[in-house]
């Protein structure tokens, strides 16, 4: 049996005793899972205290306490949470305040579902006081949602392995993974719990393969013919093994239970054409493609396969030194830069980013605490002033001395001023948050890098690194200038 936390006296009605006529409710959502409490470092009283201060300072309408005491955040089987959703559906709750984002749930999907679906549907604002996440600050909020969406799991340590196992099991069983966008031509059927051919788009998939294999149309032209927005989408279709009736999970193929759209022979032929043409299409799929510059002559550098068969290696070299380069790519035909081992360069760039991420993680956690303290200090002062005000009004009612009323007015004015200060401070924090857009990604990066696909890794590199410069065995990694100062480190062994 679960042990309950110590009993707290709330100043507001509880969720199971709301008068039926009350609308425009501000829901105060509190949750502790008793076994986790020590670990998490905050109990119900800490959560409540912080939110109450906010409610008083901002005089939110009709606060009601929704408390789940002794419930895990891994799922949403929680009575107060469910009651809150029910009232949100009915449009009676217009604002939800919680201590931190993880009170809503311990995994990204729960949180996303709540923020993106429930709150939006109910036209309900959301605030996590400790995390300073506020749906009314559209910009910060959008960033949060996209970060949540980018990373597979928010609460990585606890959840990612379980989910991965579940997904892998689905793949082994031949089912499309839960969630995500189904491949073009299929839709996800809840009844069948699997992919089903879309009667309109399914035939288009066959058409795309047919057109491409005829070798008479470029992917760009095919995109126009079938009404896709870009050739990237066409390439996506042509390479997708789901159309063979297979399920792909982490690069491994499993026999699927859905209907195939393409036969083996057609697919094999397509891959062959793709391979031949990709030689002409260039090297855009490598981790650092188009980011590497020659530090000696200033030309771009490119990836190149070196050697044959098993001893084949991937190298990076300056366009100026590459015999068949187009003339505009050559800066100095006598460029003295070395040729580099691609793996080694990539490894160095990744380690630069990881180092940076670790440092940022520490710095960030320090900073958040300091800023938090400023606000809680201000809120504390506000608390004292409000008490003072109430005391004066109370005294005035008893004694009727006009002096008391004047004093009360002064205190009230001081309150208003403090309110503005608090608002300014919050604004300042919001601004900092915006700068932290990439920092947030950095913070979780050391945990998430290992489970990212090659494409996700490439996206991360692209958003963080503006340029990599190689010069006589030295590597300079320029992080995105808008977010970071340029940093320089590391030396690669020369050839
Ligand atoms: Zn060069």
What's the CA-to-centroid distance between 293 and ligand 1, angstroms?
A: 8
pLDDT > 60? residue 5: no
* 121 and 216 housed in the same domain: no
Beta strands in 395-471 (DSSP E): 465-471
Indicate the length of the chain as a whole number.
495
pLDDT at residue 126 in the model: 93
What's the CA-to-centroid distance between 425 and ligand 1, angstroms?
A: 50
The whole-number average pLDDT for the span 138-153 is 59
pLDDT > 80? residue 146: no
462-481 burial by CB neighbour count: b if 16+ within 10 A, else e?
A: eebbbbbbbeeeebbbbbee
* Total domain count, the chain: 4
* 420 and 430 housed in the same domain: yes
The whole-number average pLDDT for the span 133-162 is 56
Q: How far is CA 428 from CA 98, 125, 239, 423, 432, in A?
A: 21, 20, 47, 9, 6
pLDDT band of 149, cuts 50, 70, 90: low
Specify which of 289-298, 406-415, 483-492 reaches the highest per-range mean pLDDT.
289-298
pLDDT digits 0-9 by tens, 296-325:
999 999 988 887 777 778 899 998 887 666
* 23 and 99 housed in the same domain: yes
**Which DSSP category does 34 fall into?**
G
pLDDT > 90? residue 429: no
Q: Is residue 162 part of a domain?
A: no
Q: Is residue 214 part of a domain?
A: yes
pLDDT at residue 490 in the model: 27
What pTM was estimated for this model as a whole?
Answer: 0.35
What's the CA-to-centroid distance between 470 and ligand 1, angstroms?
A: 9
Q: Is residue 168 part of a domain?
A: no
Q: What is the mean pLDDT of the chain?
A: 79
* 265 and 299 housed in the same domain: no
* 296 and 383 housed in the same domain: no
Q: Is residue 485 part of a domain?
A: no
Tell whether the torsion through CA atoms of 403, 405, 407 and 413 is positive or negative: negative
What's the CA-to-centroid distance between 320 and ligand 1, angstroms?
A: 5
Catalytic residue IDs: 33
pLDDT at residue 313 in the model: 83
pLDDT digits 0-9 by tens, 210-265:
999 988 888 888 988 998 877 778 888 998 899 999 988 766 788 999 999 999 99
Q: Is residue 188 part of a domain?
A: yes
* 466 and 348 housed in the same domain: yes
* 67 and 178 housed in the same domain: no
Specify which of 36-45, 199-208, 397-406 reaches the highest per-range mean pLDDT.
199-208
Cα(102)–Cα(269) distance, rounded to whole angstroms?
A: 49
Residue after which a domain boundary falls, among 327, 342, 357: 342
Q: Is residue 28 part of a domain?
A: yes
Q: Containing domain of residue 376, as a range? A: 344-479
What's the CA-to-centroid distance between 292 and ligand 1, angstroms?
A: 11
What's the CA-to-centroid distance between 297 and ligand 1, angstroms?
A: 4
What's the CA-to-centroid distance between 330 and ligand 1, angstroms?
A: 8
pLDDT digits 0-9 by tens, 397-410:
777 777 888 888 88
pLDDT at residue 419 in the model: 87
* 462 and 398 housed in the same domain: yes
Q: Is residue 264 part of a domain?
A: yes
What's the CA-to-centroid distance between 312 and ligand 1, angstroms?
A: 23
Q: How far is CA 179 from CA 188, 247, 255, 261, 441, in A?
A: 9, 14, 19, 21, 22
Residue after which a domain boundary falls, among 154, 184, 212: 154
The whole-number average pLDDT for the span 146-174 is 55
Residue after which a domain boundary falls, among 342, 360, 377: 342
pLDDT at residue 263 in the model: 94
* 350 and 323 housed in the same domain: no
- The CATH code of the domain that includes 268 is 3.90.1750.20
The lowest-confidence range among 1-5, 77-81, 118-122, 428-432 is 1-5
The lowest-confidence range among 102-106, 365-369, 460-464 is 365-369
The whole-number average pLDDT for the span 366-372 is 54
What's the CA-to-centroid distance between 324 and ligand 1, angstroms?
A: 14
* 124 and 250 housed in the same domain: no
Nearest to 328 by CA among 320, 339, 337: 320
Q: Is residue 29 part of a domain?
A: yes
- The CATH code of the domain that includes 150 is 3.40.50.1390
pLDDT digits 0-9 by tens, 322-354:
766 677 778 888 899 999 989 889 988 888 888
pLDDT digits 0-9 by tens, 253-303:
889 999 999 999 999 999 888 776 654 444 567 889 889 999 999 999 998
pLDDT digits 0-9 by tens, 45-88:
888 998 999 998 888 999 999 999 888 887 889 999 999 999 99
* 381 and 446 housed in the same domain: yes
* 108 and 40 housed in the same domain: yes
pLDDT at residue 29 in the model: 96
The whole-number average pLDDT for the span 418-430 is 77
């Amino acid at each position: 049996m679960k042990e309950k936390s110590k009993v707290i006296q709330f100043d507001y009605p509880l969720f199971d005793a709301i008068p039926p006529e009350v609308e425009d409710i501000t829901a105060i959502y509190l949750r502790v899972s008793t076994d986790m409490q020590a670990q998490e470092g905050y109990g119900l009283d800490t959560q409540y205290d912080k939110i109450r201060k906010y409610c008083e300072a901002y005089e939110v309408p009709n606060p009601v306490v929704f408390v789940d005491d002794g419930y895990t955040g891994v799922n949403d089987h929680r009575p107060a949470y469910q009651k809150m959703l029910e009232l949100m559906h009915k449009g009676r709750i217009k604002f939800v305040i919680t201590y931190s984002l993880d009170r809503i749930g311990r995994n990204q999907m729960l949180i996303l579902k709540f923020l993106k679906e429930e709150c939006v549907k109910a036209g309900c604002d959301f605030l996590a006081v400790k995390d300073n996440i506020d749906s009314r600050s559209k910009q910060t909020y959008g960033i949060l949602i996209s970060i949540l969406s980018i990373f597979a799991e928010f609460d990585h340590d606890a959840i990612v392995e379980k989910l991965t196992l579940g997904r892998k099991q689905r793949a082994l069983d031949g089912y499309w993974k839960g969630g995500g966008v189904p491949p073009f031509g299929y839709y996800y059927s809840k009844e069948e719990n699997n992919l089903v051919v879309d009667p309109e788009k399914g035939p288009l998939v066959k058409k795309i393969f047919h057109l491409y294999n005829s070798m008479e149309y470029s992917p760009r032209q095919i995109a126009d013919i079938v009404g896709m927005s870009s050739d990237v989408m066409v390439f996506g279709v042509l390479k997708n093994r789901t159309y063979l009736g297979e399920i792909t999970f982490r690069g491994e193929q499993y026999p699927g239970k859905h209907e195939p759209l393409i036969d083996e022979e057609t697919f094999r032929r397509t891959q062959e054409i793709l391979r031949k043409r990709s030689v002409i299409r260039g090297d855009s799929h490598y981790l650092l493609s188009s980011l590497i510059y020659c530090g000696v002559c200033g030309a771009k550098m490119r990836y190149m396969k070196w050697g044959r068969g098993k001893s084949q290696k991937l190298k990076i070299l300056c366009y100026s030194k590459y015999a068949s380069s187009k003339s505009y790519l050559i800066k100095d035909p006598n460029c003295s830069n070395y040729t580099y081992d691609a793996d080694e360069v990539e490894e160095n760039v990744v380690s630069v980013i990881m180092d940076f991420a670790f440092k940022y993680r520490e710095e960030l956690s320090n900073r958040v605490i300091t800023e938090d303290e400023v606000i809680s200090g201000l809120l504390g002062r506000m608390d004292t002033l409000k008490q003072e005000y109430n005391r004066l009004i109370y005294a005035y009612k008893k004694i009727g001395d006009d002096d008391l009323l004047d004093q009360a007015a002064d205190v009230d004015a001081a309150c208003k001023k403090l309110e503005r200060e608090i608002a300014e401070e919050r604004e300042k924090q919001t601004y900092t948050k915006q700068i932290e857009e990439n920092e947030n990604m950095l913070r979780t990066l050391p945990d998430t890098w290992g489970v990212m696909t090659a494409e996700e890794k490439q996206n991360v590199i692209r958003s963080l690194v503006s340029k990599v410069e190689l010069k006589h065995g030295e590597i300079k990694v320029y992080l995105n200038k808008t977010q970071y100062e340029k940093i320089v480190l590391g030396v690669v062994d020369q050839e």
